[in-house]
Amino acid sequence: MEHSPVTTRWRRLMNELPVERHTVRTADGWTLSLGRVQPPLEVEPSGEPPVMLLHGLGSNRQSMDLSERSLARWLASQGRDVWLPDLRGHGESAPNNYTWRFDDYLREDLPRIIETILSRTGAHEIDWVGHSMGGILLMSYAALEDGPPIARGVTIASALDYGKGTSGFQSLARFQPMLERGPLEVVRFGALAHALAPFMGRARVAERFHMWPENIEPRVARRVFARCFGPIPTSLASSLATALSPEGLSLADGTRILELASTVDLPILALAGTRDAQVSVEAVKHAAELIGDNVTVEVFGRDHGHVNDYGHFDLVVGRNAQAEVWPRILGHLSR
């Protein structure tokens, strides 16, 4: 279908779309929150699979449904049935404890979330768009599962080996032993981000780690810091820190995702930003090489014909994302 122009009328329609609330119960006792945004009555449903938009580390589903710039509502305005999970301890999925690991998303949360989406839509498979850790989870889940019910995938600023290229996380690797043995149970990242929110547009170091300032308005950056972050358990940070090791991302049982990457058998569009301080273009390309010919890498930045360079979060909510990034996502999912 053709993309609807973003007129004032369409913007109003998108903002007025209701978010249905659903809950998911995991086998280990967590109650997860799951949002749903369906196309407005004026738009014919696309007939394509439902789309799951999955947030990143320490984030929540608002990153995909920001009031100022919502990928979820835009996709719904194009006829897609959009689902927005909050993984355990994120957003509206209130924490039972602060001891979960990356493995728990894969073994507990995602199977139940996907099962719920399929049962409530009658679909046989989903499309999956993951930002940062949400994209890592897509690649990992597809590598671990035999014939996962995923039609197409999009990773946004995601990699499996953060040792490739330059990443701001590399300087944190030396703290991994402290995370594993120290008394600190949780990093109150959301509270810190909320405190920094009024200074976005001026706190350049904190801002550039998450987004390229030239590609996002200060008011949108403030909204991201005020609404889109939450606590990060040290157990989760420690398990994700394996992506900085020579073996790459590994699970608690010793499973190495890099060794299974070539088994991923679904078409993936991998997006990277030239100014991403967290995930380098080299790291995104390396993950694509490990998976193979099913992955198409697209780099966003001035040198690649775009209006501005792109950082980490502005690939989703940047000032040019709706014109440059979102249609590319929809085009891949609509093939």
CATH number of the domain bearing residue 61: 3.40.50.1820
Q: Can you give the residue range of the structural domain that contains 108?
A: 8-333
Domain annotation covers residue 3: no
Domain annotation covers residue 154: yes
> CA 100 to CA 91: how far, in whole Å?
15
pTM: 0.92
pLDDT of residue 187: 77
Average model confidence (pLDDT) across the chain: 90
pLDDT of residue 1: 41
- Per-residue pLDDT of 109-150, as tens digits, reads 999 999 999 999 999 999 999 999 999 999 999 999 999 999
pLDDT category of residue 2 using cuts at 50, 70 and 90 = very low
Domain annotation covers residue 196: yes
Domain annotation covers residue 270: yes
Domain count along the chain: 1
pLDDT of residue 25: 97
- Per-residue pLDDT of 188-240, as tens digits, reads 766 777 676 776 666 566 688 899 999 999 999 999 999 999 999 999 988 99
